Amino acid sequence: MTSVATRPAGQPGGVAPRPALARCVAVEPAKFAATYWGRAPLLSRAADLANPVGFTDLLDRDAADELLSRRGLRTPFIRVARDGAVLAESAYTGSGGAGAEIGDQVLDERVLGLYADGATIVLQGLHRLWPPIIDFTTELSAALCQPLQVNAYLTPAGSQGFATHYDTHDVFVLQVRGRKRWRVHAPVLADPLPRQTWSGRADEVAARADGPPALDVVLAPGDALYLPRGWLHSATAQHDSSLHLTVGVRSWTRFSLVEALLELAVDEPGLRASVPMGTDLTDPSGVAPELTATVTALRDWLTRVTPAQLAAELRQRGRHVTRPAPIRPLEQADRLHALDLDDMIRRRQGLSWRLVPQPPDRIAVEVFDRTVSFPAPCAPALRAVLHARRIRVGDLPGLADDDRLVLARRLLREAIAVVG
């Protein structure tokens, strides 16, 4: 497992940053996976996590102020909530002024007024906006093998932004600043899917929230809380304002496999057949024979599906929800033209890839948005780049020096590899 490359501000020199998952849970990864993942909440105190600066290296109040005032932030990268309700975007956005006449940019003076009156500011999609969080999320996503998102919640003292609810994704709550009281209740629906939101069970949620909580804790700076999807929660800032990060884990589920299987099932003729004309599918007696025939065809087809087919479909789906680590396009373009045999290159972090033979004389690298083809003799060098942590261009196996440079430049040009 790699760790975040940027040393946190204020962390003593020579102190290696901790792996991303170890910053979120105070137990060994194997124990977290076996005991807590998808099963039970886990509270990890700052002292047990041993993070010298807590989570201020990822985002602090000054950084949040900069995002709200000087970065041209737009929706949907911000939400505002007050007294359990999400406010209309028009309450805090408008035109950016001359040369930036975009109607949904954050208006800092309106955000000031709302926050001063007790509203919670939510900065959304920080895994695509803020460099330290981008790096952290890329590493944590690789450790969990799950797509992630990161939001920040800025809550004034004594305020509660959202009513008791549950999420349809797991979360890691990372307390950055201030203190926040969390009341957690057991699920009213275990393992909810994205379509099974809490609003459809609002009465059950409210009734459960009136009972004794499973967990009632105050998070202080540097503390972390893991909540599986479905666990009810509400949070209230204490005597000072609060800033926390929520890492949302868009967990793969067995239903994800079912959805992928159904997508593959379009290739089965027996499942594409029309029902007989005149069949009333709203009548149990009419639907019964079609149910039997459909289940039989589906069962027969499922016995022929291979793990490779299913994996390919899931890989295709995953490419649309998880992006690899960002690259610096201008710098990358300059480096590929100046590349020499002594330069070190490495696979782009977080890149999902697959090496696929293309008979008779080609081999391809499948990445998240395209397939890149190469001559077959490049296979050993491609494997070296894709599997190695770093490799010198002049050490790429199986090729002459000129071909090594051509291949390395192509990998940089296609954003499969980076220099460093």
Ordered structural domains, the chain, with CATH: 21-249 (2.60.120.650), 254-318 (no CATH), 329-419 (3.90.930.40)
Q: What is the DSSP letter of 311?
A: H
Q: Return the minimum-mean-pLDDT range out of 39-43, 110-114, 325-329, 391-395.
A: 325-329
How does DSSP assign 304-331, residue by residue?
Answer: T--HHHHHHHHHHHHTTT-PPPP--HHH
Distance of alpha carbon 418 from alpha carbon 5, whole angstroms: 15
Which residues lie closer than 8 Å to 289 by C-beta, 6 or more apart?
Answer: none
pLDDT digits (tens, 9 = 90+) for 131-153: 999 999 999 999 999 999 999 99
Residue whose pair of structure tokens reads 């396009």 in the numeric block = 329
Distance of alpha carbon 188 from alpha carbon 205, whole angstroms: 7
pLDDT digits (tens, 9 = 90+) for 304-356: 999 999 988 888 777 777 788 899 999 999 998 899 999 999 999 888 888 99
Mean pLDDT value across the chain = 92
Kindly tell me if the per-residue pLDDT of 390 is higher than 80: yes
pLDDT for 11? 45
Distance of alpha carbon 367 from alpha carbon 416, whole angstroms: 8
pLDDT for 47? 95
pLDDT digits (tens, 9 = 90+) for 219-257: 999 999 999 999 999 999 999 999 999 999 998 899 999
> 132 and 211 in contact (C-beta within 8 Å)?
no
Nearest to 78 by CA among 54, 111, 36: 111
Q: Cα angle vertex 315, ends 311, 321, to 5°?
A: 145
pLDDT for 9? 38
| Residue 15 binned pLDDT confidence (cut-offs 50, 70, 90) | low
| Residue 266 binned pLDDT confidence (cut-offs 50, 70, 90) | very high
* pTM, rounded to two decimals: 0.87
CA trace torsion 174, 234, 213, 191 (10° rounding): -80
> 225 and 42 in contact (C-beta within 8 Å)?
yes
Distance of alpha carbon 93 from alpha carbon 90, whole angstroms: 5
Both tokens of 229, joined, read: 């999807």
* Cβ atoms within 10 Å of 242's Cβ, excluding its own: 26
Kindly tell me if the per-residue pLDDT of 39 is higher than 60: yes
Distance of alpha carbon 173 from alpha carbon 176, whole angstroms: 9
Q: In what helix (H) or strand (E) does residue 412 lie, and over which residues does it extend?
A: helix 401-413
Q: In what helix (H) or strand (E) does residue 157 lie, and over which residues does it extend?
A: none
> 219 and 54 in contact (C-beta within 8 Å)?
no
pLDDT for 416? 96
Ranked by mean pLDDT, which of 10-19, 35-44, 285-294, 363-372 comes out on top? 35-44
| Residue 16 binned pLDDT confidence (cut-offs 50, 70, 90) | low
| Residue 68 binned pLDDT confidence (cut-offs 50, 70, 90) | very high
Kindly tell me if the per-residue pLDDT of 80 is higher than 50: yes
How many Å from the N-terminal Cα to the C-terminal Cα in the chain? Answer: 18
Q: In what helix (H) or strand (E) does residue 63 lie, and over which residues does it extend?
A: helix 61-69
- The sign of the CA dihedral 391, 396, 402, 405 is negative
Q: Return the minimum-mean-pLDDT range out of 16-20, 86-90, 116-120, 209-213.
A: 16-20
Distance of alpha carbon 405 from alpha carbon 416, whole angstroms: 15
Kindly tell me if the per-residue pLDDT of 32 is higher than 60: yes
